[in-house]
Amino acid sequence: MQLPLELRQALEEETSNPRLRVLQAASESLSRQYRDKRPARVPSESGRIAYLTARLPATYAAAHRVSSELVARIPGVEIESVLDLGAGPGTAMWAAAAVFPALETITLVERDPDFVELGKRLAGHSFQAAMREGRWSNADISLIDEYPPHDAVFLSYVVGEIPRASLERIIGKAWSAAKIAIAIIEPGTPAGFSRILAARQELIRLGAAIAAPCPHDSTCPMSGTDWCHFSARVERTSLHRRAKSATLPYEDEKYSYVIAARCYVDRARARVIRHPTKLKGHVRLDLCGITGLLKKTVARKTKEEYRTARKADWGSVWPFDE
C-alpha cells in the first residue's frame, strides 16, 4: 500500500526543513517507544516531524486496513461522517477518506494544538473537500462530556495514551457517538492487544456487535503469551527510508484492532491469525473460529478450499466451516 499522492507531497513539504540527523534521532526514539510499551506524548517540534516520517505511514496503513474491513463486514454500509478521536495529524481521516467514498463530514479531536495546525495544513493538500473542510477541535477527549454523533468513530493509536481508569468512560462516550460503527486500533504488541481486549469487553457489555476481527462476540480464546495482531505493509518513501536509516523499500506495521457495530454484521466464519505456511500440495493455517483457536491443514484434493488457502494471507477471512 502507498500513501495517497497528495499526502506524500504534503509530508515532503512539512518535513523538508529539519536536519536529517535530528530527524533520525527523533525517529529512532519514537520507534523505540512504540516497540517497547505505551508511547509517550509527542510534544516537541522534532517529535511531531518524526511522527510524520516514522509513524504516520504505518498508522495510515493500519487504519486503511481496518476501514476496509469495516466496509467488508457491514454489508451495504455507507459511511458519510467520521469522528477521529486523538487524531494527531489526521491519519485515520486520510485512511477513512481513501476507503469511504460517501464521506462528507469529518470531525477531529486532538489535544495538542500544534498537531491540530499540522493536521489542517496536511489536509489543505487533499483533493477531497471533506478533508479540507474537516472540523478540527483542540480538546482533551477525556474532558468532553459527550461526543457528537457520526457514522463511524475512530480511536486510532490513542487508547494507549489514555489512563486505564478513564478507558471505560471514553469507550462508552465513543460508542454512544457511533451511529453505525466504532473502530479501535492499537500497536500489535501484547500491551496494545490487552487494551483492545479491554475495549472489546466493554463494547460487548454495552450491547455492540463485534464485526472484526473476531468470528464471534464470546470470550476471546487468546491467552498466555499469545496475542491477536495483524500486519499491514506500507511502501517507504525516500524520506521515510532516510529518516529511519532503513534499506528495505517497505515497512510492516503490526497492529491489533476491534470493530463493533450497531447493525447486522457479516462476521468472518474464521480468521487467519498467522502467516499461512504454503508447502507443496498443502497449506497450514492458524485460524480463530467460532469454536476457538485451531490449526488446519488444507490439502490439494480439497480443490476450492485449497485454492482459497493458497491465496490466503495473515488476517484473511476463512470462508469455510472450520
Nearer to ligand SAM, 65 or 296 (CB): 65
Render the burial of 60-86: b for 16+ CB within 10 Å, e for the rest.
bbbbbbbbebbbebbeebebbbbbbbb
Contacting residues toward ligand SAM, per CB under 6 A: 39, 56, 59, 63, 86-88, 91-92, 109-112, 115, 140-142, 156-158, 161-162
> Minimal distance in Å, beta carbon 244 to ligand SAM?
16
> Minimal distance in Å, beta carbon 311 to ligand SAM?
29
> Minimal distance in Å, beta carbon 187 to ligand SAM?
9
Nearer to ligand SAM, 156 or 308 (CB): 156
Task: With CA atoms as reference, report the closest residue to 41 among 96, 112, 114.
Answer: 112
Sign of CA dihedral 41, 47, 48, 54: negative
Nearer to ligand SAM, 160 or 213 (CB): 160
> Minimal distance in Å, beta carbon 215 to ligand SAM?
26
Query: Which H, E and C letters describe the chain, residue by residue?
Result: CCCCHHHHHHHHHHCCCCCHHHHHHHHHHHHHHHHHCCCCCCCCHHHHHHHHHHHHHHHHHHHHHHHHHHHHHCCCCCCCEEEEECCCCCHHHHHHHHHCCCCCEEEEEECCHHHHHHHHHHHCCCCCHHHHCCEEEECCHHHCCCCCCEEEEEEECCHHHCCHHHHHHHHHHHHHHEEEEEEEEEECCHHHHHHHHHHHHHHHHCCCEEEECCCCCCCCCCCCCCCCCEEEEEECCHHHHHHCCCCCCEEEEEEEEEEEECCCCCCCCEEECCCCEEECCEEEEEEEECCEEEEEEEEHHHCHHHHHHHHCCCCCEECCCC
Number of residue whose CB is nearest ligand SAM: 88
Nearer to ligand SAM, 139 or 294 (CB): 139
> Minimal distance in Å, beta carbon 242 to ligand SAM?
20
Nearer to ligand SAM, 161 or 286 (CB): 161
Distance in angstroms (rounded) separating the CA atoms of residues 294 and 310:
18
Q: Which amino acid is at 262?
A: R
Nearer to ligand SAM, 59 or 128 (CB): 59
> Minimal distance in Å, beta carbon 298 to ligand SAM?
35
> Minimal distance in Å, beta carbon 110 to ligand SAM?
5
Nearer to ligand SAM, 111 or 195 (CB): 111
> Minimal distance in Å, beta carbon 283 to ligand SAM?
33
Nearer to ligand SAM, 122 or 268 (CB): 122
> Minimal distance in Å, beta carbon 27 to ligand SAM?
14
Sign of CA dihedral 192, 195, 199, 200: positive
Nearer to ligand SAM, 110 or 305 (CB): 110
